Amino acid sequence: MTGQSPILEVNDISLRFGGVRALSNVSFGVKKGELFSIIGPNGAGKTSLLNCISGRYTPQEGSIKFNDKEVTKMTPNHRAEMGMGRTFQNLALFAHMTVLDNIMVGRHHLMKNNFLTGGLYWFGGAQKEELEHRRYAEDIIDFLEISHIRKSVAGTLSYGLRKRVELARAVALRPDLILLDEPMAGMNLEEKEDMARYIVDLNEEWGMTVIMIEHDMGVVMDISERVMVLDFGKNIAEGLPHEIMANDYVKRAYLGEETDEEAEGEVA
Protein backbone atom coordinates (compact mmCIF):
# COMPACT_ATOMS: atom_id res chain seq x y z
CA MET A 1 0.00 0.00 0.00
CA THR A 2 1.26 3.44 -0.88
CA GLY A 3 2.54 5.40 2.10
CA GLN A 4 1.66 9.01 2.75
CA SER A 5 5.16 10.44 3.15
CA PRO A 6 6.82 11.79 -0.02
CA ILE A 7 10.04 10.08 -1.03
CA LEU A 8 10.70 12.62 -3.80
CA GLU A 9 9.77 16.30 -4.04
CA VAL A 10 10.52 18.27 -7.21
CA ASN A 11 9.89 21.99 -6.81
CA ASP A 12 9.80 24.42 -9.75
CA ILE A 13 12.85 23.06 -11.55
CA SER A 14 13.92 24.62 -14.84
CA LEU A 15 16.66 23.34 -17.13
CA ARG A 16 18.22 25.19 -20.06
CA PHE A 17 20.79 24.21 -22.67
CA GLY A 18 21.97 27.51 -24.08
CA GLY A 19 18.83 29.19 -25.35
CA VAL A 20 16.81 25.98 -25.35
CA ARG A 21 14.53 25.47 -22.37
CA ALA A 22 14.20 21.73 -21.70
CA LEU A 23 12.15 22.03 -18.49
CA SER A 24 10.05 24.95 -17.26
CA ASN A 25 9.01 25.21 -13.60
CA VAL A 26 8.21 21.52 -13.19
CA SER A 27 6.83 20.51 -9.80
CA PHE A 28 5.49 17.19 -8.52
CA GLY A 29 5.84 14.76 -5.65
CA VAL A 30 6.00 10.99 -5.43
CA LYS A 31 4.88 9.12 -2.32
CA LYS A 32 6.89 6.32 -0.77
CA GLY A 33 5.78 3.00 -2.27
CA GLU A 34 4.10 4.56 -5.31
CA LEU A 35 4.33 3.46 -8.95
CA PHE A 36 4.39 6.78 -10.78
CA SER A 37 4.63 7.17 -14.57
CA ILE A 38 5.67 10.11 -16.73
CA ILE A 39 4.36 10.32 -20.29
CA GLY A 40 4.61 12.81 -23.13
CA PRO A 41 5.65 13.05 -26.78
CA ASN A 42 9.26 12.82 -27.93
CA GLY A 43 11.17 15.94 -26.93
CA ALA A 44 8.81 16.71 -24.04
CA GLY A 45 11.66 16.68 -21.50
CA LYS A 46 10.98 13.31 -19.84
CA THR A 47 14.56 11.99 -19.91
CA SER A 48 15.91 15.44 -18.98
CA LEU A 49 13.68 15.31 -15.92
CA LEU A 50 15.00 11.89 -14.91
CA ASN A 51 18.53 13.17 -15.47
CA CYS A 52 17.85 16.02 -13.04
CA ILE A 53 16.42 13.63 -10.46
CA SER A 54 19.33 11.19 -10.78
CA GLY A 55 22.00 13.92 -10.78
CA ARG A 56 23.29 13.73 -14.34
CA TYR A 57 21.94 17.26 -14.93
CA THR A 58 21.72 20.14 -12.47
CA PRO A 59 18.72 22.43 -13.00
CA GLN A 60 19.41 26.15 -13.10
CA GLU A 61 16.33 26.83 -10.96
CA GLY A 62 14.29 24.96 -8.38
CA SER A 63 15.08 22.18 -5.93
CA ILE A 64 14.87 18.40 -5.57
CA LYS A 65 14.45 16.59 -2.25
CA PHE A 66 14.93 12.86 -1.79
CA ASN A 67 13.90 11.33 1.55
CA ASP A 68 13.63 14.86 2.98
CA LYS A 69 17.20 15.72 1.99
CA GLU A 70 18.20 18.41 -0.51
CA VAL A 71 19.93 16.63 -3.39
CA THR A 72 19.73 19.22 -6.19
CA LYS A 73 23.50 19.59 -6.49
CA MET A 74 24.54 16.14 -5.32
CA THR A 75 26.43 13.82 -7.67
CA PRO A 76 24.80 10.67 -9.11
CA ASN A 77 27.05 8.54 -6.87
CA HIS A 78 25.86 10.31 -3.74
CA ARG A 79 22.24 9.79 -4.76
CA ALA A 80 22.93 6.10 -5.43
CA GLU A 81 24.42 5.80 -1.95
CA MET A 82 21.23 7.36 -0.57
CA GLY A 83 19.12 4.72 -2.32
CA MET A 84 18.33 5.93 -5.84
CA GLY A 85 18.68 3.51 -8.79
CA ARG A 86 18.40 4.20 -12.51
CA THR A 87 18.08 2.49 -15.90
CA PHE A 88 18.68 4.26 -19.19
CA GLN A 89 16.80 4.65 -22.45
CA ASN A 90 19.95 3.59 -24.29
CA LEU A 91 21.55 0.50 -22.77
CA ALA A 92 24.50 1.28 -20.51
CA LEU A 93 25.78 -2.21 -19.73
CA PHE A 94 29.40 -3.31 -19.72
CA ALA A 95 29.13 -5.32 -22.93
CA HIS A 96 32.37 -7.29 -22.38
CA MET A 97 31.38 -8.46 -18.88
CA THR A 98 29.14 -11.34 -17.87
CA VAL A 99 25.60 -10.83 -16.64
CA LEU A 100 26.63 -11.69 -13.08
CA ASP A 101 29.57 -9.28 -13.18
CA ASN A 102 27.33 -6.48 -14.47
CA ILE A 103 24.97 -7.05 -11.55
CA MET A 104 27.83 -7.17 -9.06
CA VAL A 105 29.01 -3.77 -10.36
CA GLY A 106 25.67 -2.44 -9.13
CA ARG A 107 26.65 -3.49 -5.61
CA HIS A 108 29.94 -1.56 -5.52
CA HIS A 109 28.77 1.39 -3.42
CA LEU A 110 27.50 -1.03 -0.75
CA MET A 111 30.93 -2.57 -0.27
CA LYS A 112 32.42 -1.75 3.15
CA ASN A 113 35.87 -3.28 2.69
CA ASN A 114 38.49 -1.04 1.07
CA PHE A 115 41.69 -2.11 -0.66
CA LEU A 116 43.51 -2.38 2.68
CA THR A 117 40.99 -4.47 4.56
CA GLY A 118 40.13 -6.32 1.37
CA GLY A 119 43.76 -7.40 1.10
CA LEU A 120 43.19 -9.56 4.16
CA TYR A 121 40.63 -11.53 2.16
CA TRP A 122 40.66 -14.74 4.17
CA PHE A 123 41.22 -13.13 7.60
CA GLY A 124 39.13 -9.97 7.32
CA GLY A 125 35.49 -9.52 6.40
CA ALA A 126 35.98 -9.24 2.64
CA GLN A 127 35.24 -12.89 1.85
CA LYS A 128 32.03 -12.88 3.89
CA GLU A 129 30.98 -9.56 2.38
CA GLU A 130 31.53 -10.79 -1.18
CA LEU A 131 29.45 -13.89 -0.47
CA GLU A 132 26.61 -11.74 0.87
CA HIS A 133 26.66 -9.49 -2.20
CA ARG A 134 26.80 -12.49 -4.52
CA ARG A 135 23.84 -14.06 -2.70
CA TYR A 136 21.80 -10.90 -3.24
CA ALA A 137 22.82 -10.85 -6.92
CA GLU A 138 21.65 -14.44 -7.26
CA ASP A 139 18.29 -13.50 -5.71
CA ILE A 140 17.89 -10.83 -8.39
CA ILE A 141 18.87 -13.29 -11.12
CA ASP A 142 16.22 -15.73 -9.91
CA PHE A 143 13.60 -12.99 -9.61
CA LEU A 144 14.17 -11.74 -13.17
CA GLU A 145 14.41 -15.30 -14.51
CA ILE A 146 17.84 -14.90 -16.09
CA SER A 147 19.63 -17.84 -14.47
CA HIS A 148 20.23 -19.40 -17.89
CA ILE A 149 22.32 -16.40 -19.00
CA ARG A 150 24.07 -15.56 -15.72
CA LYS A 151 27.50 -16.45 -17.16
CA SER A 152 26.83 -15.07 -20.66
CA VAL A 153 28.68 -11.99 -21.92
CA ALA A 154 26.17 -9.12 -21.86
CA GLY A 155 27.06 -7.87 -25.36
CA THR A 156 26.05 -11.20 -26.93
CA LEU A 157 22.49 -11.16 -25.60
CA SER A 158 19.29 -10.15 -27.37
CA TYR A 159 18.00 -6.63 -26.83
CA GLY A 160 15.15 -7.77 -24.60
CA LEU A 161 17.48 -9.75 -22.32
CA ARG A 162 19.95 -6.87 -22.12
CA LYS A 163 17.13 -4.59 -20.95
CA ARG A 164 16.35 -7.14 -18.25
CA VAL A 165 20.01 -7.28 -17.19
CA GLU A 166 20.14 -3.50 -16.95
CA LEU A 167 17.09 -3.61 -14.67
CA ALA A 168 18.90 -6.25 -12.59
CA ARG A 169 21.92 -3.99 -12.21
CA ALA A 170 19.74 -1.08 -11.07
CA VAL A 171 17.94 -3.35 -8.58
CA ALA A 172 21.35 -4.48 -7.27
CA LEU A 173 21.76 -1.01 -5.76
CA ARG A 174 18.94 -2.03 -3.41
CA PRO A 175 17.28 1.34 -4.06
CA ASP A 176 14.36 2.89 -2.23
CA LEU A 177 13.54 4.72 -5.48
CA ILE A 178 14.17 3.30 -8.94
CA LEU A 179 13.98 5.44 -12.09
CA LEU A 180 13.10 3.52 -15.26
CA ASP A 181 13.61 5.24 -18.62
CA GLU A 182 11.51 3.41 -21.23
CA PRO A 183 12.10 -0.08 -19.79
CA MET A 184 9.92 -1.70 -22.49
CA ALA A 185 11.14 0.18 -25.58
CA GLY A 186 11.84 -2.12 -28.52
CA MET A 187 10.31 -5.19 -26.86
CA ASN A 188 7.73 -7.56 -28.31
CA LEU A 189 4.39 -8.15 -26.57
CA GLU A 190 5.56 -11.11 -24.50
CA GLU A 191 8.69 -9.28 -23.33
CA LYS A 192 6.61 -6.23 -22.38
CA GLU A 193 4.22 -8.37 -20.34
CA ASP A 194 7.15 -9.94 -18.48
CA MET A 195 8.79 -6.58 -17.81
CA ALA A 196 5.52 -5.09 -16.56
CA ARG A 197 5.16 -8.01 -14.15
CA TYR A 198 8.71 -7.53 -12.85
CA ILE A 199 8.13 -3.80 -12.30
CA VAL A 200 4.89 -4.39 -10.39
CA ASP A 201 6.58 -7.06 -8.24
CA LEU A 202 9.52 -4.75 -7.50
CA ASN A 203 7.01 -2.17 -6.33
CA GLU A 204 4.66 -4.43 -4.38
CA GLU A 205 6.90 -7.26 -3.13
CA TRP A 206 10.34 -5.62 -2.96
CA GLY A 207 8.94 -2.31 -1.67
CA MET A 208 10.61 -0.08 -4.25
CA THR A 209 9.09 3.24 -5.24
CA VAL A 210 9.04 3.41 -9.05
CA ILE A 211 9.16 6.39 -11.41
CA MET A 212 8.79 5.19 -14.98
CA ILE A 213 8.92 6.82 -18.39
CA GLU A 214 7.08 4.69 -20.91
CA HIS A 215 5.41 5.22 -24.31
CA ASP A 216 3.16 2.15 -24.20
CA MET A 217 -0.05 3.73 -22.93
CA GLY A 218 -1.68 0.36 -22.28
CA VAL A 219 1.09 -0.62 -19.87
CA VAL A 220 1.20 2.81 -18.22
CA MET A 221 -2.53 2.93 -17.56
CA ASP A 222 -2.63 -0.69 -16.41
CA ILE A 223 0.12 -0.66 -13.76
CA SER A 224 0.53 2.98 -12.65
CA GLU A 225 -1.00 4.49 -9.53
CA ARG A 226 -0.59 8.04 -10.84
CA VAL A 227 0.51 9.55 -14.15
CA MET A 228 2.06 12.90 -15.07
CA VAL A 229 2.04 14.38 -18.58
CA LEU A 230 4.93 16.53 -19.83
CA ASP A 231 4.73 18.66 -22.96
CA PHE A 232 7.43 21.09 -24.12
CA GLY A 233 9.09 20.78 -20.72
CA LYS A 234 5.98 21.65 -18.72
CA ASN A 235 3.81 19.57 -16.40
CA ILE A 236 0.40 19.93 -18.06
CA ALA A 237 -1.56 17.17 -16.32
CA GLU A 238 -1.24 14.87 -13.31
CA GLY A 239 -3.65 12.41 -11.76
CA LEU A 240 -5.04 8.90 -11.63
CA PRO A 241 -4.83 6.83 -14.84
CA HIS A 242 -8.52 7.20 -15.65
CA GLU A 243 -8.30 10.98 -15.14
CA ILE A 244 -5.34 11.22 -17.51
CA MET A 245 -7.14 9.09 -20.11
CA ALA A 246 -10.04 11.56 -19.99
CA ASN A 247 -7.70 14.54 -20.46
CA ASP A 248 -8.20 16.32 -23.80
CA TYR A 249 -4.48 16.60 -24.47
CA VAL A 250 -3.95 12.88 -23.98
CA LYS A 251 -6.93 12.05 -26.19
CA ARG A 252 -5.55 14.19 -28.98
CA ALA A 253 -1.84 13.34 -28.68
CA TYR A 254 -2.00 9.64 -27.87
CA LEU A 255 -5.34 8.28 -28.96
CA GLY A 256 -6.02 10.42 -32.01
CA GLU A 257 -9.47 11.16 -30.66
CA GLU A 258 -11.42 14.32 -31.29
CA THR A 259 -11.83 16.38 -28.11
CA ASP A 260 -15.17 17.71 -26.90
CA GLU A 261 -14.13 21.28 -27.69
CA GLU A 262 -13.12 20.38 -31.24
CA ALA A 263 -16.40 18.53 -31.78
CA GLU A 264 -18.40 21.53 -30.56
CA GLY A 265 -16.44 23.78 -32.91
CA GLU A 266 -17.34 21.63 -35.91
CA VAL A 267 -21.03 21.63 -34.97
CA ALA A 268 -20.99 25.40 -34.63
The neighbour count for residue 261, using CB atoms within 10 Å, is 9
For residues 10-19, give the mean pLDDT.
95
**Residue 23 clears pLDDT 90, i.e. is over it:** yes
> Domains, the chain, ranges and CATH?
1-83+175-268 (3.40.50.300), 97-174 (no CATH)
| pLDDT at res. 48 | 96
Residue 224 burial class via C-beta count within 10 angstroms: exposed 0-12, middle 13-18, buried 19 and up? buried
**Residue 252 clears pLDDT 90, i.e. is over it:** no
Give dist(CA 77, CA 56) in Å, integer.
10
Mean pLDDT of the chain: 86
Helices then strands, each counted (H, E), the chain = 11, 10
Tens digits of per-residue pLDDT, 69-126?
999 999 998 999 899 999 886 667 888 999 998 898 877 655 554 444 444 444 455 5
Query: What letter would DSSP give residue 74?
Result: -
For residues 162-168, give the mean pLDDT.
92
